[in-house]
Structure 1
């Protein structure tokens, strides 16, 4: 039987399928053998290899176990996540997996309202701006907004996490979209500040050099009380688990909270800015 020629450059899914076939053949396995080891049909294996069926998370994890590469940089799960969230920075999809299970979330943001607090209209306006600049195609803008909705939904659970947010004053002053978008976004901040598991503070311009961070920082505390940090630059993200690196960031965050406005003062500033654009 003639074997279909695969073109891994055709798409990310095609590259996934070509690598799947390559690893299978390197082990001398037929599609039937891999099917038995993954509990999928040989027809399904063939469809993924030839790009006729997109891979799923469950399928990726199954073939990782079969090939013995689960949890490694060469895992198909990692490739799947890169396909699904190709418009996101490295490390961020992995961070979000932990975010959905965290018992405490600490955020610091500059320039834009933190994603977990963004209204759909605000988030779409930000994504559309990236499309207009040519940074991402329209379909990736849709993925970003959908992904943000999933992150926000993951926080609505029987025992919601405690979320502490410090926003640089620039987040409030930087106008995104028309007045209606900003007014709705600022109203959302006031509503969230009234929730028992959220604390919102503004880091005012007046603190100057006493501001602890110059880039966005996310800190997660998990159920076992371990803490991890996610930071990013314009080009890449980094998930940090080493205690020696995370603890100083946590200390700096506490110092920032002490310098920031209280929640009552922060809400007053938000309302003041909101009235100015109404």
Structure 2
């Protein structure tokens, strides 16, 4: 990434890099000098400044020590939100200003549609597995609530959601939690700026995705994609790879149940929760 093209407003990662570069230049240091001060190579410093590499907590703390500040660790925690996959904070920054959001999920209700209780059950499960701390679980649930506020902004985005049938059939948290979650889905479908569809098991091989998919249409009408592996997320801006995903999403919508039939299925599942 060209340093001159780095936009601090484009993502938390870019803002961190811009702060690092600005602080270094104010001291009159070269990247070699800062690297020597922090114990990193100049190449590493350059990669963080230009947004090509995410900073670590260790890196942020060494930057604070070098500049006599606490700003870098604070920025780091905002960037990572304590518990987020690498790549996800950048996605969230774009999600908050997208004009259209398209989601496909397998196995669990998409985050933007989760109730606090449903989200808490998932977070607490991660705590019991030792994957995160109780404090991180609380951060995760609070952060999700902040993301959901984007749906209620003055000019809310159009939100298209296709859920695999497994999302509504997989019991999470018991009768009360799952029942309230299914009710939330029905309420979501009734909004004027949303479309909710269920991709039933019966479509078989016509299901176009085998992994969750997030597609965002930005104010300039460009489309970006986001996908996650087990340990990190990847934001894709390459039109050559994103547009086929958009086509596949439209094909999935064509095979999925209509919104009316999807709501009927959700209501039916809700009545049968043990």
TM-score normalised by the shorter chain: which range applies?
Answer: 0.7 to 0.9
Identify which of 232, 236, 242 aligns with 1:240: 236
User: Residue in 1 aligned with 2:176?
Assistant: 180
CA contact (8 A) 2:189 2:196 kept: yes
User: Residue in 2 aligned with 1:19?
Assistant: 63
C-alpha distance in structure 1 between counterparts of 2:62 and 2:231, whole Å = 28
CA contact (8 A) 1:104 1:221 kept: yes
User: Residue in 1 aligned with 2:247?
Assistant: 251
User: Residue in 2 aligned with 1:121?
Assistant: 117
Identify which of 157, 160, 164 aligns with 1:161: 157
Give CA-to-partner distance per residue, 1:155-185, whole Å, 9 cap, x none.
2111110000000000001111111000000
Residue 88 of structure 1 and its aligned partner are, at CA, apart by: 1.1
CA contact (8 A) 1:215 1:233 kept: no
CA contact (8 A) 2:63 2:72 kept: no
Q: 1:238 to 1:13 in 2, by over 3 A?
A: closer
Gaps of 5+ in 2: 1-37, 40-55
Instruction: Provide the secondary structure at the position in 1 that maps to 2:152.
Output: coil
Identify which of 91, 94, 100 aligns with 2:90: 94
219-228 or 151-160, which deviates more: 151-160
Q: 1:215 to 1:270 in 2, by over 3 A?
A: same
C-alpha distance in structure 2 between counterparts of 1:200 and 1:179, whole Å = 22
Runs of 4 or more consecutive aligned structure 1 residues displaced over 2 Å after TM superposition: 12-15, 19-22, 53-57, 79-82
Structure number with greater Rg is 1
Residue 154 of structure 1 and its aligned partner are, at CA, apart by: 2.0
User: Residue in 2 aligned with 1:62?
Assistant: none
User: Residue in 2 aligned with 1:199?
Assistant: 195
C-alpha distance in structure 2 between counterparts of 1:119 and 1:231, whole Å = 22
2:106 is aligned with 1:110: yes
Q: 1:248 to 1:54 in 2, by over 3 A?
A: closer
Gaps of 5+ in 1: 1-6, 25-45, 58-78
Give CA-to-partner distance per residue, 1:199-236, whole Å, 9 cap, x none.
00000000111101111100000111000000112222
Residue 135 of structure 1 and its aligned partner are, at CA, apart by: 1.0
TM-score (norm 1): 0.75
C-alpha distance in structure 1 between counterparts of 2:226 and 2:239, whole Å = 13
